[in-house]
C-alpha cells in the first residue's frame, strides 16, 4: 500500500476505469466529479460512466474486429467497464450493447464502495494544485470551460480543439490501385515529400455530377443544441459546398489542376479526389477536404461512387461536431504525460481517442501506469502490437505531422482499427495456391489478434 494519492478529474468511462485500476493496485484515489455540483449540457444523471449517446460498445468479435480485440484485452486486465458491460448486456447480434442505466449504476456502485476510492463532487476550476503529485485528467469532450482555459494556458493556443472537422479515412489496401496513382499537385515535393505524396482518384464529368447530386440529397446528422458548431471557410462540409453550386467542389478539394493520370495522360479528369497518408505506418489514407455532416449510413454508399473506392473499407467516417481534445502528439509523451507538467497524465476522449471503449482503455492504461509510479516502480507502455499499444501509439506519435506550408492541424480523434497495428506476416495454408474472396483478410486479422493477446500477457 502506498501513502501517495492519485487525483483523477472526471468520472466518465476513462476516469472511472483509471480510478478502479489504481485502487485495485493498492493506491489511494480521489475521484473529482463536477456533476452533482455543476451539470453539463449532455448528461442526465450524476452516475459515473454515463453513456450520453449510443448504448453500443460495438463489435465483440476479438478475432476479426479491432474493437472486439480491445474488449478482450480489457477483460484480461480486470476492467471495471467491461465487467459492468458484460453484466448488463442486451441482445445485439455480434455487438456488445448494454442497458445504459444498469451499466452506469454498476460502475457507480463499484467506485463508491471501493475502500481505496474517495469521491469528491466538485468542479476543478483551474490547473490542478501543485501539491497533487499524481494527476489524471479525464474530463472528456465536455471539459468545463475553466479547466479548458487552464489547459490552453499551459499548453498553448493551438493545442486544444473545441470542434472536430473530420474527413473520412480509408484503409490503403482496400483502394483500387489500378485506378489510383501517386502524385503531388504540380509534382511539388514539399518538406519531407517526394513529389508523389498523394493518391489521386479521377472522375469524368458524368461521375462528378452524379456524385454532387448524391451529396445534395443525402440525409444529414441532426445535432443537439450543445453539439452545434460554426462553419469555417477552411473546413466546410462537402455537402454544403455542393449546395453552393455544381462546380464548387471541382474548384475546391476536387480540383483537377496540376495532376496527370499516367494511365491516360491525354485526357484531363473533370475532377480528382485526393487521399493523403494519415499514419506513419502508411496503412491509413485521409480523403482530403471531405469533412461532412452526412449520416454514417449513407457516407459509405456515396464515397464508394468515387472510382477506385468501390470496395473501400473505412477506418473512420467523416464528421463535424463539438468536441474538446488536446493535440496529443504535440503535448504528451509516449506514456501520456503532459510534457510541460509530467505529474499530469491525460486519459479518454480528451486525448483524441474516439469511442466508449477506447476512452475506457485509455483510462485503464493511465490508471495502471500512475499506480505503478505511486508504488515506487514503473510500468512500460503496452506493446505496439496490442490494441492498447496501437491506440496509444497513434495518439502520441503515430499520426503524421500537418504540412508545414498549410499550417493545418493534422491530428484528429479516431477509433481503434487494424490500420493502427504494425504489419503481420501470413502464409497461405499448405496446399492452397491462392487466396479466395475474403480469406486473406480473415487470416491477417486472426494473425494480428492472436499476436496481440500473446504480447499482452507480459504487460498485463
10 assigned binding-site residue = yes
pLDDT of residue 321: 61
Segment 75-88, tens digit of pLDDT = 999 999 999 999 99
Last residue of a domain, one of 293, 320, 347: 320
pLDDT at 185: 86
Say which residues have a Cβ less than 8 Å from residue 194's Cβ, sequence separation at least 6: 184
Q: Do 351 and 269 fall into the same domain? A: no
Tell me whether residue 310 is in a domain: yes
Residue 401's pLDDT band (cuts 50, 70, 90): low
Tell me how many domains the chain contains.
2
Residue 68 binned pLDDT confidence (cut-offs 50, 70, 90): very high
SS3 235: helix
* pLDDT at position 120 over 70: yes
Q: Where is pLDDT greater, at 42 or 72?
A: 72
Each residue of 65-78: b (16+ CB within 10 Å) or e?
Answer: bbbbbbbbbbeebe
Residues 174 and 258 in one domain: yes
Specify whether 55 is located in the same domain as 186: no
Q: At what angle do helices 13-24 and 356-374 cross, to 10 degrees?
A: 30
Give the range of the structural domain holding residue 182, as residue numbers without chain letter. 165-320
CATH code, domain with 226: 2.40.30.260
- Distance (Å, rounded) from C-alpha 10 to C-alpha 6? 13
Reported as a pLDDT band with limits 50, 70 and 90, residue 404 is very low
Q: Average pLDDT in the 101-121 region?
A: 95
For residue 410, what pLDDT is reported? Answer: 64
Examine residue 458 and state whether it is found in any structural domain, yes or no: no
User: Each residue of 260-272: pLDDT tens digit?
Assistant: 999 999 999 999 9
In the chain, what is the straight-line distance between the N-terminal and C-terminal CA atoms, in Å? 20
Provide the CATH number for the domain around residue 151.
3.50.50.60
pLDDT at 406: 38
Do 307 and 171 lie in one domain? The reply is: yes
pLDDT at res. 99: 85
Of 319 and 292, the structure prediction assigns the larger pLDDT to: 292
Judgement on whether residues 47 and 188 belong to the same structural domain of the protein: no
Asked which of 365, 397, 429 is the last residue of a domain, the reply is: 397
Cα–Cα distance measured from residue 281 to residue 423, given in angstroms and rounded to the nearest whole number: 8
Considering only residues 2 and 197, tell me which one the structure prediction assigns the higher pLDDT.
197
pLDDT digits (tens, 9 = 90+) for 132-161: 999 999 987 777 778 888 888 888 756 666
What's the predicted TM-score (pTM) here?
0.75
Are 359 and 349 within 8 A, CB to CB?
yes
Tell which wins on pLDDT, 171 or 297.
171
Q: Do 174 and 306 sit in the same domain of this protein?
A: yes
Pairing, β 134-137 against β 271-277: unpaired
Q: Does residue 293 fall inside a structural domain?
A: yes
Q: Considering the chain, what percentage of its residues have pLDDT values greater than 70?
A: 88
- Look at residue 22 in the predicted model and tell me its pLDDT: 98
Last residue of a domain, one of 271, 287, 320: 320
CA–CA separation, 61 and 71 (whole Å): 9
Residues 280 and 144 in one domain: no
Q: Does 55 share its domain with 200?
A: no
13 is known to lie in a ligand binding site = yes
The per-residue pLDDT of the chain, averaged, comes to 87
Q: With cut-offs at 50, 70 and 90, classify the pLDDT of residue 222.
A: low
Q: What is the mean pLDDT of residues 293-317?
A: 93
One domain for residues 313 and 330: no
User: What CA–CA distance (Å, rounded) separates 370 from 341?
Assistant: 14
190-209 mean pLDDT = 85
Quote the pLDDT of residue 270.
96
Is 160 annotated to bind a ligand? Reply is no
Give the tens place of pLDDT for each residue, 347-376: 998 898 888 999 999 999 999 999 999 999
The answer on 392 and 314 residing in a single domain is no
Q: Is residue 143 part of a domain?
A: yes
Please give the pLDDT value at position 432: 84
Position 129 in a domain: yes
Q: Which is it for the CA torsion 401, 405, 407, 409, positive or negative?
A: negative
Residue 146 known to bind ligand: no
Give the whole-angstrom CA distance, residue 190 versus residue 193. Answer: 5
CA dist., res. 193 & res. 334, Å (int): 25
pLDDT higher than threshold 60 for residue 326 = yes
Task: Give the number of residues written for the chain.
Answer: 460
Is residue 33 within 8 Å of residue 48, measured between CB atoms? yes
pLDDT tier for residue 167 given thresholds of 50, 70 and 90: confident
Q: What angle do CA 47, 51, 56 make, to 5 degrees?
A: 140
- Is the confidence at residue 302, as pLDDT, over 90? yes
Look-up: residue for cell 513529389? 195
- Same domain assignment for residues 308 and 358: no
Positive or negative torsion for Cα 194, 198, 201, 205? negative
Give yes or no for residue 286 having a pLDDT over 70: yes
Q: Is residue 409 part of a domain?
A: no
Flag whether 74 is in a domain: yes
DSSP state of 264: S
Q: Are residues 17 and 146 in the same domain?
A: yes
**Considering the domain boundaries, does residue 69 fall inside one?**
yes
Binding residue per annotation — 352?
no
For residue 92, the model assigns a pLDDT of 73
Is 376 known as a binding-site position? Answer: no
Amino acid at each position: 500500500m502506498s501513502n501517495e494519492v492519485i487525483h483523477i478529474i472526471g468520472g466518465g468511462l476513462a476516469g472511472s476505469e483509471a480510478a478502479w485500476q489504481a485502487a485495485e493496485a493498492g493506491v489511494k484515489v480521489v475521484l473529482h466529479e463536477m456533476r452533482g455540483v455543476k451539470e453539463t449540457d449532455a448528461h442526465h444523471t450524476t452516475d459515473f460512466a454515463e453513456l450520453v449517446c449510443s448504448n453500443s460498445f460495438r463489435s465483440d468479435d476479438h478475432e476479426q474486429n479491432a474493437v472486439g480485440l480491445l474488449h478482450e484485452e480489457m477483460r484480461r486486465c480486470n476492467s471495471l467497464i467491461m465487467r459492468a458491460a458484460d453484466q448488463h448486456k442486451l441482445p445485439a447480434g455480434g455487438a456488445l450493447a448494454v442497458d445504459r442505466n444498469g451499466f452506469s449504476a454498476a460502475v457507480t456502485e463499484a467506485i463508491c464502495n471501493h475502500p481505496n476510492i474517495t469521491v469528491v463532487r466538485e468542479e476543478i476550476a483551474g490547473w490542478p494544485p501543485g501539491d497533487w503529485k499524481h494527476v489524471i485528467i479525464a474530463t472528456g469532450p465536455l471539459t468545463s470551460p475553466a479547466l479548458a482555459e487552464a489547459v490552453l494556458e499551459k499548453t498553448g493556443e493551438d493545442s486544444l480543439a473545441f470542434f472536430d472537422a473530420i474527413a473520412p479515412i480509408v484503409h490503403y489496401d482496400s483502394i483500387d490501385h489500378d485506378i489510383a496513382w501517386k502524385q503531388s499537385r504540380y509534382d511539388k515535393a514539399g518538406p519531407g515529400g517526394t513529389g508523389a505524396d498523394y493518391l489521386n482518384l479521377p472522375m469524368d464529368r458524368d461521375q462528378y455530377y452524379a456524385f454532387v447530386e448524391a451529396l445534395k440529397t443525402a440525409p444529414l446528422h441532426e445535432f443537439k443544441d450543445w453539439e452545434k458548431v460554426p462553419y469555417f471557410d477552411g473546413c466546410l462540409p462537402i455537402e454544403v459546398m455542393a449546395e453552393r453550386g455544381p462546380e464548387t467542389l471541382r474548384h475546391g478539394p476536387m480540383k483537377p489542376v496540376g495532376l496527370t493520370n499516367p494511365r491516360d495522360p491525354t485526357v484531363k479528369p473533370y475532377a480528382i479526389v485526393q487521399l493523403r497518408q494519415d499514419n506513419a505506418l502508411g496503412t491509413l489514407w485521409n480523403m482530403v477536404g471531405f469533412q461532412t455532416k452526412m449520416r454514417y449510413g449513407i457516407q459509405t454508399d456515396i464515397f464508394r461512387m468515387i472510382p477506385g473506392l468501390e470496395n473501400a473499407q473505412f477506418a473512420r467516417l467523416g464528421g463535424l461536431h463539438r468536441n474538446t481534445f488536446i493535440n496529443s502528439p504535440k503535448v504528451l509523451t509516449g506514456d501520456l504525460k503532459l510534457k510541460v507538467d509530467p505529474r499530469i497524465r491525460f486519459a479518454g476522449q480528451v486525448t483524441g481517442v474516439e469511442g466508449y471503449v477506447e476512452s475506457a482503455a485509455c483510462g485503464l492504461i493511465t490508471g495502471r501506469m500512475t499506480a505503478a509510479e505511486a508504488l515506487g516502480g514503473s510500468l512500460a507502455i503496452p506493446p505496439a502490437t496490442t490494441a492498447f499499444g496501437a491506440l496509444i501509439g497513434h495518439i502520441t506519435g503515430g499520426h503524421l505531422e500537418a504540412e508545414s506550408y498549410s499550417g493545418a492541424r493534422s491530428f484528429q480523434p479516431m477509433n481503434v482499427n487494424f490500420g493502427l497495428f504494425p504489419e503481420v506476416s501470413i502464409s497461405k495454408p499448405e496446399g492452397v495456391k491462392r487466396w479466395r474472396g475474403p480469406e486473406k483478410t480473415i487470416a491477417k486479422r486472426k494473425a494480428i489478434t492472436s499476436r496481440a493477446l500473446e504480447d499482452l500477457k507480459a504487460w498485463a
